[in-house]
Amino acid sequence: MRALKWTTTGLTLVFLVAPLLVIAIVSVNENRYMDFPPQGLSFEWYWALWTDLGWRSAILTSLTVASLGALVAVAIATPLAYVLRAYRIRLSPLLYALGILPFMLPPVISALGAQVFWNAADHAGRIENVIIAHGIFFSTLPLITISLAMETMDPALPEAAQTLGANPRTTFRTITLPLLVPSMITGYAAAFVLSLNEYIIAFLVAGFSVQTLPIKIFNGIRYGFTPTIASVAVVFIVIAATVFSLFAVFGNLLRFLGADPAILERNDA
Amino acid sequence: MSDRKPTHGTYAVLAVPVTMLVVFFLVPFGIMVASSFYHRVEGGFYTPAFELNSWRRLFTEVFIERAVFSIGISLLAGAVCIAVAFPFTFFLTRMKRRPHVALLVVVMSALSLSEVIVGFTWSVLLGRAAGISNILVWLGVMDEARAYQPGFVAVLLGLCYIAFPYCVLTLYPSLSRLDREVTEAAQTMGASPWRTFWTVVVPISRPIIVAGFLLVFVFTLGSYLISAILGRPEHWTLSVFISDQASFNANVPFAAAMAIFLTVLSLAVVGVVTVVESRTRRLT
Amino acid sequence: MQERGGLRLQELVKRFGDLEAVAGVDLELPPGRLISFLGPSGCGKTTLLRMIAGLEQPTAGRVFLDGEDVTDRPPHSRDIGMVFQTLALFPHLSVSGNIGYGMKIRGVAQAEIRRRVDELLKMVSLEGTADRRVSQLSGGQRQRVATARALALEPRLFLLDEPLSALDANLREQLQVELRLLQQKLGITTIMVTHDQREAMTMSDLVVVMQAGRVEQVGLPLEVYRRPATAFVARFIGSTNLLETTGAGDGRVRLRDRDLAVPGADRSDGGLVLVSVRPEDARLHVGLGAVPNAIPGTVVFVRDLGELFECYVDCELREHVVVAGSPRERVPVDQGDAVQVEFPPDACVVVRA
């Protein structure tokens, strides 16, 4: 049993970390062409992220699409999640299914659908197409987080507000909405990150005129490689690792992932 | 709270997101269904019509081969992911604070890598210039560097890599809540830890194992970049094939027909497995 | 004592699908008093309270507050203050934010809110906690904040839904007394839902005992205890011996071929008459001498609990007869002794089934 534990954990760790190490090494390689062992140390590829206009533009495009797309996603999800949980709506399961359907299907389906839609509307190749498509596709994430928050909220809270004289609108504004804000932020963050990394929808909808970061990277891999791609990857990895480490130290990472809160005390005992 | 009757204002508020979903999801889907019957014009256009040409192509060897490969590799990825992720997560939930949190951070960092980055790093790792084989040559184990990508194993490894963190996160909540006393009871009755794992832990976790498998299956079915980067055309998944038909081959009607097939397939798999799982759960 | 808050509940019914939670309650409740709705879980007491609050719409019947029909008025215009079972303190607001919430949404000036919040905190003995977050408070402190919040706007009705059920026993008894004293000082009409009969007995001016959506009995606590109207009330409040006797005329019943004098018994046809006698009223007699209003039996079990003793006697009835009392009244008996159990006539109460 011990053997199983160590082999599984060890192999998995190597499996997960290996690509991260490789990409870190490649990103500081002096040579333009990848080789191993690395020839020299150079940070020029990181510098290129800042100076190269193509990379700057792709980063900006991706950030624009992600920040606005995630906003659309939350704007769609919030009223949907709230109304479906706070009121007795007859078609409620159907509407909820409509909300999660886009994300549950393979992305290429949403991508192709969006492409033919914007072509038919004679509005092809624009950045707002991508923003809307991402907003719809990723609206499932805030829908789930906000629905969960509604479900775990004490139903007596809005009732208490009402007994204190608040009509339904005031109750929503002063009590329900502030309590939903954390789940809205989590949903926004998830939609933002996923939009930043998304390829196929962005490509089919407006890939030849709007170049997001993943599109630029993929083109780079297909048609010509520079280690700048590696430096982008490393930046992503470092940001993610930092965010999660901070979360683990200052927040409650385990509870966030759904663990039993007492689990660490039990294990340490 | 959910007892409240909706007012006119409620429906007005609900109408906004529902309208957006209908206009920007259902309508595009509808147009896509319609365009699967359109007439394809050389050069990338299509005119409204009612033809079954595109649908007939679903019965050609080209498509069937693609579909079978796609489904097969997704099933395989699901099996491999679960086989590794389940014991991994089980041990993880029993670890002490430091290694527990550290491992979680590693898993979450891997999860936040975009698919294109994952595809890229594995193409390097399995390539001939700066990959595993170069390390082995350097260590003297191999004579000459070899490229393992593009190839079937490369695609499988890439798919497992992107699906693995999601799989762990699906298993994590329920495995962390697994009642210790159940495994302890088994051990007081004479079962070794190994036996306990297979005869107690795994059966109890069956619903969550099925959920994890299903997640990986649907997730990898929809994957585009891994297959496109790490595989030759014979290793392309349906998503790549569809996208290729829609963009480079400019055969949107055919792409649409395949997309609908993929939709029906995904929903059917999820539906069937869910029904079967709930039926067997009622019997046990 | 206030004159506001008189309630008239007119034939209230509440159905949830097939379930009838409240099956026809008709009550007139006086203002200025603390009234308990007492009963086991599922008896409809909370549903009844929520209909008074306006959080549930009655399926049938009307609610009148101070003579006005408020049945169709939403909770936010009924002038009530309510303490919920979960307390429902707003987690994103501080203590003063919670207490001052009602005033804030009415547009009361900040300074006035502050003044009133301090006044209320003093009233519930929580001075100085105005700026604390709810999560930093103990269970008892939270309860007091919930109370202060409900009373902030001086409502006509003060409603409490099992307000102390989340607290441990010691704290509960302490807060029972505090709440009662507060209510008496303010003279506010108060309705409290509880399943704990000791709580109801401790705090109430009036007890409404409910079961299965109906009112079994309404009365003063001691009255409900001494003169239960039904078998359910007799068993639910304190414990009792329920004797299944047969009617034998005016004021007489028959039990195991002995005649017993029971005032209020009026059947002479040999039909069933249920008689309730509290354990502390029954008396044990050793030996076989003639004892009026008694039946013979054998001691099965004795519990000496220090502050009281309990004696279980097998009198060949459906259940053991329990005789209880303080140590000073302890008759020297042991397991197996033959005894006679006396039921003094003025302690016998005829109850409905």
Distance from CA of A267 to the nearest CA of C (A): 27
Q: Which residues, 6+ apart, have CB-to-CB distance to C310 below 8 Å?
A: C279, C302, C303, C322, C323, C324
Pair A38, A60 in one domain: no
DSSP readout, C258-300?
EEEE-TT----SS-EEEEEE-TTT-EEEESSS--TTEEEEEEE
Q: Name the CATH topology of C239-351.
A: OB fold (Dihydrolipoamide Acetyltransferase, E2P) (2.40.50)
C neighbour chains, 3+ CB pairs within 8 Å: A
- Contact: B243, A108; criterion CB under 8 Å: yes
- Chains A, C: CB contacts within 8 A come to 61
pLDDT of B1 higher than 60:
no
Q: Is A237 helix (H, G, I), strand (E, B) or coil?
A: helix
Q: Which of C85, C86, C92 sits opposite A179 (nearest CB)?
A: C92
pLDDT of B17 higher than 70:
yes
pLDDT of A222 higher than 70:
yes
C102/A contact by beta carbon, under 8 A: yes
C64/A contact by beta carbon, under 8 A: no
- Contact: A132, B24; criterion CB under 8 Å: yes
Pair A14, A143 in one domain: no
C185/A contact by beta carbon, under 8 A: no
Is the fold of C7-230 the same as that of C239-351? no
Which tokens is C85 given? Answer: 């079972």
- Contact: A178, C82; criterion CB under 8 Å: no
- Contact: C90, A164; criterion CB under 8 Å: no
Pair A82, A211 in one domain: yes
- CATH code of the domain in which A69 resides: 1.10.3720.10
What residues of chain B lie within 8 A of the CB of A88, using their CB? 2-6
The whole-number average pLDDT for the span A40-62 is: 79
Please say whether the dihedral angle defined by the alpha carbons of residues C202, C205, C211 and C213, taken in this order, is positive or negative.
negative
Pair A138, A179 in one domain: yes
- Contact: A163, C150; criterion CB under 8 Å: yes
Q: What is the pLDDT along chain C (353 residues), one digit of tens a residue?
A: 778 889 999 999 999 988 999 999 999 999 999 999 999 998 999 999 999 999 999 999 999 999 999 999 999 999 999 999 999 999 999 999 999 999 999 999 999 999 999 999 999 999 989 999 999 999 899 999 999 999 999 999 999 999 998 888 888 999 999 999 999 999 999 999 999 989 999 899 999 999 999 999 999 999 999 999 999 999 998 889 999 888 888 888 888 888 888 888 887 787 888 999 999 999 888 877 788 888 888 999 998 888 888 999 999 888 899 999 888 877 788 888 888 899 999 889 988 88
pLDDT of residue C157: 94
The verdict on residue A49 lying in a domain is: no
Pair A10, A133 in one domain: no
The whole-number average pLDDT for the span A166-194 is: 90
What one-character DSSP code corresponds to residue C135? G
Domain B36-283 in CATH 1.10.1270.20? The answer is: no
Pair A1, A84 in one domain: no
Q: Is B1 helix (H, G, I), strand (E, B) or coil?
A: coil
The verdict on residue A213 lying in a domain is: yes
The Cα–Cα gap between A8 and B95 comes to 14
Which tokens is B48 given? Answer: 């409204």
- Contact: C82, A165; criterion CB under 8 Å: no
Strand C68-69 and strand C80-83: pairing? unpaired
pLDDT of residue B118: 87
Sorted by where each begins, the domain ranges of chain B are 36-283
The Cα–Cα gap between C234 and C208 comes to 13
| Residue-wise pLDDT tens digits, A122-143 | 888 889 999 999 999 999 999 9
pLDDT of A226 higher than 80:
no
Pair A33, A156 in one domain: no
> Class of C7-230 per CATH?
alpha beta
Q: Which range of residues forms the domain containing residue A37?
A: 1-42+236-255
The verdict on residue A81 lying in a domain is: yes
- Contact: A170, C105; criterion CB under 8 Å: yes
pLDDT of residue A32: 61
Is there a contact between A65 and A130 (Cβ–Cβ < 8 Å)?
Answer: yes
What residues of chain C lie within 8 A of the CB of A179, using their CB? 91-92
The total domain count for chain A is 2
The verdict on residue A98 lying in a domain is: yes
Pair A249, A220 in one domain: no
A contact test, residue of B21, B263, B266 with most A CBs within 10 A: B21
Distance from CA of A162 to the nearest CA of C (A): 5
| Residue-wise pLDDT tens digits, B68-114 | 999 999 999 999 999 999 989 988 888 888 888 888 888 887 877 78
pLDDT of residue C320: 92
What residues of chain A lie within 8 A of the CB of B95, using their CB? 267
- Contact: A113, B221; criterion CB under 8 Å: no
Sorted by where each begins, the domain ranges of chain C are 7-230, 239-351
Q: Which of A101-105, A142-146, B1-5, B211-215 shows the lowest per-residue confidence on average (mean pLDDT)?
A: B1-5
pLDDT of residue C123: 92
- Contact: B224, A200; criterion CB under 8 Å: yes
The verdict on residue A164 lying in a domain is: yes
The Cα–Cα gap between B153 and B27 comes to 39
Pair A78, A163 in one domain: yes
